[in-house]
Amino acid sequence: VQTSLYRDTEIFDLITKENNRQLHGIELIASENFVSPQVMEAAGSVLTNKYAEGLPGKRYYGGCEVVDQVEQIAIDRLKALFNLTWANVQPHSGAQANMAVFLACLQPGDKILGFNLSHGGHLSHGSPVNISGKYFQPFFYGVEQETGLIDWNKVEETAHKERPKLIICGASAYSRDWDYVRLRQIADSIGAILLADISHPAGLIAKGLLNDPFDQCHIVTTTTHKTLRGTRGGVIMMRNDFPNPFGITTPKGEVRMMSSLLDSGVFPGTQGGPLEHIIAAKAIAFGEALTENFYNYAIQVQKNARVMATEFVNRGYKVISDGTDNHLMLIDLRPKGLTGKIAENSLIQADITVNKNMVPFDDKTAMTTSGMRVGTAAMTTRGLVEKDMVRIVDLIDDVLMNHDKATTVAAVKKEINTWMQDYPLFQF
């Protein structure tokens, strides 16, 4: 083991390697992005040294005058971005944000209804291997096999049959928009709370490019590092606060507001001290997202995804739901005689990063899968536009159709490495 108090070259050499990997390749993982230099600087700042349990102005530690201001700015910018009355910016990740909501709203054993993981949902929405599926009783809705779309009537049927206390909408691999109005009607008809997890499309929603969930969904969570293009993390938001519907009271017998329950759900419910360096980086990213430049970025992400989906379809690939409204798409590779595992492994040889992904009604395991998921958030940050998407799909097709020919794969890799020299990581 090599250690040094002054310079840990073992780790810094690996960071340099990772930097080069990101720089030289094409990043299509739908949940990834490249943050700006100032977001990175804040994430690596002295704020990491500070303990600040509690909320701005109400801390359990001294010396919080500066981080109080940082955290308040993060909250205020997030409120401005999504037109909110309340937000908590402390969740360390998207899964933590969801866990805090569950703790605030539910009792162990309560029923929840979420989007099926194998149809594009997220682990933290009731998967049996996640705390959400172990401590609560999960039920699921999915997409239709023929269309790849969610049938809202079927969601309603399941909701009426199982009567969950919480309905979750949002996904990790669903390329279409959500009918929040219909979902709220369904939630109201059974007295359920409606939670939207907008982790993937948050950046597009912030700029009005997709349906706005905030008037319909009681609570909204998101990660901050996907289309929102911030540091890794999570947040919980509400446009309107409300007295909790399940009669949870304070020790004095007063009904608690949902905001107070959610704050407690984060700390002390599921976390200790907040990461103030990460909250500073979130504040900067929210500031960036408030700009006109970010609107142009978000629009380009969406345009790039549409072109990419069309190009895949034109080359005979099966895009689930035949297209996309947001930044991502899910591709069933079975018509091409490939698995997700083969696709992921062969594309990485050419420095193209995608992830293998289950497709709805998949007949393969999660380690093999029949599909791959691709998204445009990261490459749009590097400055690529529609014509570049055509070229990327060409290169992907070249690799997939010749995945056993090392010379073809090596030629594609060379082309990509040369091409990417013109595109710094953060450009847009």
Cis bond upstream, residue 268 (ω within 30): yes
What CA–CA distances, in Å, run from 38 to 47, 231, 287, 297? Answer: 14, 10, 11, 17
Tell me the helices (H) and strands (E) count for the chain, helix number first.
Answer: 15, 15
Determine which one of 223, 270, 339, 380 is catalytic: 223
Q: Give catalytic status of residue 85 as yes or no.
A: no
Q: Give me the phi and psi of 14, to 5 degrees please.
A: -70, -35
Closer CB to ligand PLP, 68 or 212, in the complex: 212
Residue 210 marked as a ligand binder: no
- Closest contact distance (angstroms) between CB of 291 and ligand PLP is 24
Q: Closer to ligand PLP at the Cβ: 172 or 310?
A: 172
Q: In this structure, are residues 51 and 275 in contact, taking their beta carbons and an 8 Å threshold?
A: no
How far CA 149 is from CA of 39, 171, 173, 369, in Å, comes to 36, 13, 12, 20
Q: Is 117 annotated as a binding residue?
A: yes
Nearer to ligand PLP, 236 or 409 (CB): 236
Does residue 232 carry a catalytic annotation?
yes
- How many residues make up the chain in this entry? 428
Chain residues in the site for ligand PLP (CB under 6 A): 31, 93-95, 122, 124, 170-172, 197, 199-200, 223, 234
Compute the distance between CA of residue 313 and CA of residue 343 in angstroms, rounded to an integer. 17
Q: Which lies closer to ligand PLP via its Cβ, residue 32 or residue 386?
A: 32
Whether 226 sits among the annotated catalytic residues: the reply is: yes
* 371 in a known ligand binding site: no
Of all residues in the shown chain, the one whose CB is closest to ligand PLP is 94
Q: Which of 141, 165, 176, 197 is catalytic?
A: 197
Q: State in angstroms the smallest separation of the CB of 146 from ligand PLP.
A: 25
- Comparison of 225 and 239: residue with beta carbon closer to ligand PLP: 225
Q: Could you identify the residue written with the tokens 């919980």?
A: 236
92 is an annotated ligand-binding site residue: no
- What is the rounded CA–CA span in Å between residue 282 and residue 91? 11
Residue 13 backbone zone (phi > 0: left; psi -120 to 50: alpha; other: beta): alpha
Catalytic-residue membership of 222: no
157 given a catalytic annotation: no
User: Does residue 324 have an active-site annotation?
Assistant: no
59, 111, 176, 226: the active-site residue: 226
Binding site, by residue number, is: 117, 121-123
Binding site for (6S)-5,6,7,8-tetrahydrofolate, by residue number, is: 117, 121-123
Q: Which residues are catalytic?
A: 51, 53, 197, 223, 226, 232
